[in-house]
Structure 1
Amino acid sequence: MGKHSKILTFILLLSTFYFLLSVQAQASFFERIINLFSSVSEGPIQVSYRFFVPHDTLDPWDPWPPGTTLDLPENGYLSPMAFPPLPGQLFRLRIGIKATADWSASNRRLKLQFGKLSAGQTNCATITAWNDLGALGSGADWRGFDMPITQLANGAQITVNKLSGATIKGSYQESNPTPFNPAVLKDQIIEYDWLVQNNITNSSLDGEFYCFRMVNQDGTSLKRYSQYPKIATTKPFVNSTSSTINKNVGGTINMSNTNGTGLALVVPANYSTFSQSFDIRNLSVNDFLDQVGGQPSGKLGAHSYVYQMNAERNNVATSSFNENLTMRIDYSDSEVSSVDESTLRIYKHDGNNWNAQSTTLDTTNNRATTAINSFSSFGLFGDPTPTPTPTPTPTPTATPSSGGGGGGGGGGTTVSYPTATVTFSGRAYPKSTIILLRDAQVAATTVAGADATFSINLSSLSGGNYIFSIYSEDRDGRRSSLLTFPISVISSATTAVNGIFIAPTIDVDKNEVKRGDNIAIFGQSVPASEITITVSSEEDFFGKINTDKNGTYLYNFDTSVLDLGQHSAKSKAAYGGEISSFSKTVSFQVGKKTVLAKPVVKVLKGDLNKDGKVNIIDFSILAFWYKKTGFPAGFDLKQDGKIDLKDFSIMAFYWTG
């Protein structure tokens, strides 16, 4: 006999017994019985959840996963493509519980459970064996964790609701059970925050899913579960290494693979405000591709492993770095036997798609290098080897020299040797000027299109090692930070550096701002990109805003959260799954008065008399110095040590009349 049937029978028997009592007594009794029945049949419902990156505050501001542009939405489960936490890693889980009857204060305690789905199953409701979240330090697959941060005390009331419709603040939990609840009215949603650690051993990883649910303290389930948090596990990783890198000096982490290949991660000095613990693991590329649905479209795997990386301090994940890190993948000849080696690129998986990174190739030493500013999953891919076709063997071209010797003197020949070409392409700002440096000297310039894309081609290079750098100037004359590419070029070959993403420009409208007033932070980047602004103080503060159709952005930052003194700001852009490096850093003072910054006065290239125009006056000045020496440095528009027709061509480009 079911619970409800027993209650109905009990009501029937007692109603007969009380039949002889007064009408008023009967009414009072039945009211109590009806309320009892209602409380049993109308239990709470688990209605929502969201995964967050662990942080050192009660307000987890960064949705999972760490270090990518992908933010899992509310009720979005952790699929294999969403970077599920690896063994030992932590995550925060917000869960919303809806009351279907009033809860008086301090009458209900809950706990968290997990269960594993059978192979091929996707519905969490089919799980029959549920386990309580493991105690701190236990051997359970999923367990609580004691975060050694004062404000994160187990059972503390949360400060901000994150879930839709949630209005009641429950507790932050590092272990079961929750403390007694605050009062919750019917149809209100109370939100709880759980800190959970993946404690599954590497050998037990099988790529299957786990589900989570909240239950009553006695283990009985809630009335209904309209949403279950769900996490995929990875396949076993092949190798791992970890190291703590001092923020002041930086360092290098190396991983060697059994097939003779490897990975090196170079971390520069001042990469972060605090020293971080780095963890690198590699997975079989086939296992990873099975879980995420395949390699980049039209590409083949060129390396046996995919690398997953994590950096954290006090178990709090780091989402990005102050300086670019350099990642190098060393591959073998056998790994690229079916791949066109010249097309190799390092790809980053953003949780939805593979995105090619700007990659420098050293095919002599079998190395691919890229700069990264945040962590994710990285692999090496390239185009399939094309069907070989006969090609003529290049030979030096003999060209008759001018003139011959008198009295039967013989003529000479000039031998032309093959040269190399390097191309650079990527994104900057709409209609912005792109400047390419070769060994610290200006080598070429171009102008980005209206969509901010650009391409620069540098040819007639001798084979050898070069250091190329590239930067951009926005429409107001502000310069970006510099991107540098050490490249070995080979004669008769073209080296392509693609996927360049120049950092945004940045400026502020005040040198000093009165505490509590807003300071405007602005600049330019790719149109419709997402700009993340970091304001550095004792604690970093973050803001996000999208650029407009011209690539400009403006963010008003409330300085009431800052202490008096010197502060700084920087920005980075995200677009199409790619993330730029950080911009230059701008400084400002928070004080007791406001001092406006002087506006940037843009000087057009070719405006030799600095009147804001490029016209016949500037042409006359440049003509005076044509093929002469001793000219002012700013008049050499090509910056090649001379004034010739190339300088006039540059002036013509900027001509205003």
Structure 2
Amino acid sequence: MYDTLHVISRWFVQTLLLVFFFLFVFIYIGAQTDSAQAQYVATTTVSLTVCGDSLVAPSEFCDDGINSGLYAFSIATRNCSSCTAWGQYCGDGVIQPFEGEECDDGNNTAGDYCDVVCQNESDPVTEGGGGGSGGSGGGGGRGTPGDDGIPDASVDGSIEYIGETNLNIAGRAYPGATITVLRDGEVERVVEADSSANFNFSLTEQTPGITTLGFWAADRAGRRSITYAATFQVVQNAVTTLSGILIPPTLTVTPEKAAQGTTISFAGSALPSTKVQAYIDKADKPEETLASSNGEWAISYDTSKLTNEAFHTVKANYIDEKNIQLKSGYSLITNFYVGTRDVNTGLTADLNNDGVVNLTDFSILLFNWNTTNAQADINKDGSVTLPDFSILLFYWTG
């Protein structure tokens, strides 16, 4: 009897141990499997972009919450359109005749032949007169080149706390150039560059705060540069110095119409002894020359490589090969015609030059829609799009 109980007890204990063993193995394997599975869990992030929520998502160009795309009278009040682009506005560089614009030079600054609401204006009246040079001032901070200043130009700033709120400005243009300085649409000062192309002047008793000044230059031949604006902070009770301003080169094309295979001339003024680069149409490689010691430059160009009976464009800038950071912005884009047809090299919607603007011109425009055809590109912005159609309708004669 005792032996039987002993055998049964041993069997029970062994069975119980085996149950615990297999239970342990099951739990251990399960834990390892869960751990391995946890290491390979994939996550997916879903982002929802809503046009009209006033938040500019990475895939959106703009979002003002309304997105009406309605015409605006200034850059500051422009309206977003479908979160993909700005609607038309005064200051977008495209003349909107249906909105009453007579001009649009890409800014809302008066005194540069196109006023703050894109209406033509007469020559600016000189006020003030030439200013004397001022010290750059010591101490204070030094601005980062290019920030808050003229695009593609280096701008350095310094501040000297003296109890007066004054402003010193210095820059470079072309020898003997006349520089017109604008503020709030009014001529603030007209100064002349010296023989080395430098100009500087001082303004006293200034109002502290954010200030925007516009600069454009006329060279000795009367050719005008494009207008640029520099925005910066005028510090109260201190001398604020804005320096490193570079006025882009002037540019003219002679003649404005030439037969294919003949030579035309690009000419203007730039900073002396710099390399001038002229870009024809959308070419990546520019035509180059060196400006002389008096700033004059010229490039002779063979038109045989250009499309015949078509409009073309050219723009220029300059760069100092000894200091690659010394690089100007681009000049005004100037158009010219290669061919023998009797064409108007100015802005025209008469695309076939028959003296009227009608369905024939409309057909030419549609045929070249969304292309870079220079003949149909009425406003010379590099593409045939809605602004060209608007101009064609404005000049429609039937």
Higher-strand-fraction structure: 1
Q: State the TM-score, normalized to the length of structure 1.
A: 0.29
Q: Which has the higher contact order (CA 8 A, sep 6+)?
A: 2
Q: State the TM-score, normalized to the length of structure 2.
A: 0.47
Q: Which has the larger radius of gyration?
A: 2
